[in-house]
Amino acid sequence: MTDIKPPSPLSVPSHDDETFMSLVSRIAVRNGAADLSDFRKDIGVRQEDMLRADPEALAELALGAGIHDHPSLRRTPVAFDGGRFAYGKAILTSRDLARFRVRICQKCINGDRRRDSVLGPYQRFEWLLADVHTCHEHNCLLIDVTDTVGSCGRLDFHFAIQNADLRAFSRLGDRVTPQHRGLENYLIGRVRGARTSAFLDGMEYRVIAATSTALGCLIQSGPKAKLDDLSERELRSAGHYGFQILSEGPASFRGALERIRMSKPVAAAKHRKRFGGFFDWLRNKEDPAFNPIKDIVREYILDTFPVPEGMEVLGVECGEQRRHTLATGARMIDMNRARLGHRLVERGLASVKPGRPIPVLLDYIPVDVLEQIKKDEATDYDLDEVCELFGVHRNIAGRLARAGFLGTRSFEDTGTYRFERDDVWKLKHRLFGTVAMRSLGTDTHLPLFDAARQFRLPIEALIHYCCNETLKLKHPPSSRRLLTDLLVPIDELKRHIEPKRSEGLLHKDAAKTLHVDRKTISELVAAGKLVEKSIHIPYADHSIRYITVESLRAFCADYFSLANLALSVDREPGPYAQYLAARGIRPCVDIASSSRIYKRSDFRRKKD
């Protein structure tokens, strides 16, 4: 350093919020220097020392300007080791400062000029903070006029204002919402030495500023938004909303992440996509100062997302998986996915969706829930629990067990039975595998017990058809999955318990075809004139009997019933039988039947 010249005899009025370089710039002009560069040459301060904000150079500059003890020295960035700056009571980095950018509030500058057109305009200390985008007094965005002043005037505020393009001052500043100043007020207060909470004050300035903006960007613009694409107005708004959350502490931070996570279906994306740009921004931060934020986000992700063991999250490997999907949870406890899903429905962690046989998760499954389910599955159900699960009486549950649908264990000491839990849930999965997508009417579907009564079938038979996948029972999506909720398709059931029309007819249908009663059909079968077959009904003490089509055709080729014959000539059966008797045509005597049966050959012989 060169010898310091005597202090300048002429000075200017200073302001409480003025930066040191702005004050020196005005003093230089007041003492006749062309600009700050000439003034510092006269004092003997090197340009590179001033650009580095070297504390000794700034002290010499202050001494030469006659303000060696001036408070403005505490309102200028001073460099120290590590590439950081002491600015007031805060420690900042070059990213936090706009030292080489000239940003102004044109209304403040115009007001300064009205007081003193030459030496009035001065630089406010908050204009050097890169994350402060507005003027607190006038609620307008700061204007960056750096490109209009050239590189030599970026530290010389008076020179910059005098040489700035006046057109930059001709337009009014963009007004902003006064309420969105949460982050900016905190940052300015941090420089002044204000204290807030232990959580905020325990982190460095740059961590609060950057995290608030990145978090606010995620909340306002979504996971795909990028900070570089935001305007100053959007950055200010994002910083405000992010700081509102951050200022309330870690619990509020986790709550905001939880709201973002649950804003979409839980299985829509994993944590890297759900938090998008915010997660990538935080992952790329190698500065140890961001570790407290990383710790909060990492613990939240591990607590709420299915992060597999060994996967790295924000620089730390996951030691133990804390949440599971339906697939990984089923593998963990060795259980069927559908069965596990319905167990989660009971706990409010899953829901049944129309058209989906497996429930959909409402949230990822905690490990303790899986362990509790596994523990419950290790025990058997008692009779009352089975009745509650299926919504039936005790006798129906007993019938299902006797039919082999439910396995039981007998306890001789107590005389009671326990039902194997695995069998219970396998049966429920088979019965309730199809969800009705729309409401079904009674003309096409009947409730399980109504169908059993109408078709005279045991409940076990219908359940047997369902378990063999020959009959698809349906249930409404909002049902409790009880047996009373099951709906039986009528046409599909008839195909299994009635013969095809090409194969045969039931007794009642055969009686209608021949115009006789059912007793006559049985008598014709006993006489060997009709052939009867049967369809086996499982778990029933009877079978479905029917008359073959071939035997009906053969019978009709040789015989008439009186009713059928009278109907063909449009006569009453009784008088027509008397008419036939008068002509010598009598019923067939070789068939013992309650109905009158005539041979076709008798009519042909009579005609001859």
**Per-residue model confidence as pLDDT tens digits over 557-574:** 888 888 888 888 888 888
What is the pLDDT averaged over residues 579-607?
A: 76
pLDDT greater than 80 at residue 417:
no
Closest CA to 358 of 434, 266, 438, 472: 434
**Confidence (pLDDT) at 10:** 63
Q: Please tell me the distance from the alpha carbon of residue 226 to that of residue 84, in angstroms, as a whole number.
A: 26
pLDDT greater than 60 at residue 170:
no
Does residue 199 sit in the same domain as residue 260?
A: yes
Region of poorest pLDDT, from 202-216, 274-288, 423-437: 423-437
**Confidence (pLDDT) at 285:** 92
Does residue 74 sit in the same domain as residue 35?
A: yes
Residue 79, phi then psi, degrees to nearest 5: -80, 145
**Confidence (pLDDT) at 7:** 47
Q: Please tell me the distance from the alpha carbon of residue 424 to that of residue 414, in angstroms, as a whole number.
A: 22
Closest CA to 70 of 120, 1, 28, 21: 21
Q: What are 381's strand-pairing partners? A: 419
More confident residue, 237 or 82: 237
CA angle centred on 424, ends 422 and 429, rounded to 5°:
95
Tell me the average pLDDT of the chain: 84
Domain presence at residue 257 = yes
Burial of 124 by CB count in 10 Å (0-12 exposed, 13-18 middle, 19+ buried)? buried
Do strands 474-475 and 532-535 pair parallel, antiparallel, or not at all (unpaired)? unpaired
Does residue 201 sit in the same domain as residue 307?
A: yes
More confident residue, 165 or 28: 28
pLDDT-derived band at 6 (thresholds 50, 70, 90) equals very low
What is the pLDDT averaged over residues 72-89?
A: 87
Q: Tell the residue number behind the tokens 């089509």, with chain if given.
A: 549
- The total of other beta-carbon atoms located within 10 Å of residue 152's CB is 14
Its sign, for the CA torsion 131, 277, 291, 284, is negative
Does residue 351 sit in the same domain as residue 372?
A: yes
Domain presence at residue 186 = no
pLDDT-derived band at 5 (thresholds 50, 70, 90) equals very low
Does residue 150 sit in the same domain as residue 130?
A: yes
Does residue 336 sit in the same domain as residue 417?
A: yes
pLDDT greater than 60 at residue 415:
no
Domain presence at residue 188 = no
**Confidence (pLDDT) at 242:** 95
Does residue 491 sit in the same domain as residue 508?
A: no
Range of the domain at 472: 438-497
Gyration radius of the chain's alpha carbons: 46
Domain count of the chain? 5
Looking at 447, 474, 497, which one is the last position of a domain?
A: 497
Looking at 396, 427, 458, which one is the last position of a domain?
A: 427
Q: Which parts of 149-196 fold into alpha helices (H)?
A: 157-163, 167-170, 182-192
Does residue 220 sit in the same domain as residue 358?
A: no
Does residue 469 sit in the same domain as residue 566?
A: no
> In one letter, which amino acid is 424?
V
**pTM score above 0.85:** no
Does residue 218 sit in the same domain as residue 154?
A: no
**Confidence (pLDDT) at 437:** 61
Domain presence at residue 117 = yes
**Confidence (pLDDT) at 274:** 87
Does residue 299 sit in the same domain as residue 335?
A: no
One-character DSSP codes across 218-248: HHHH-TT--GGG--HHHHHHHHHHHHHHHTT
Looking at 427, 454, 483, which one is the last position of a domain?
A: 427
Domain presence at residue 463 = yes
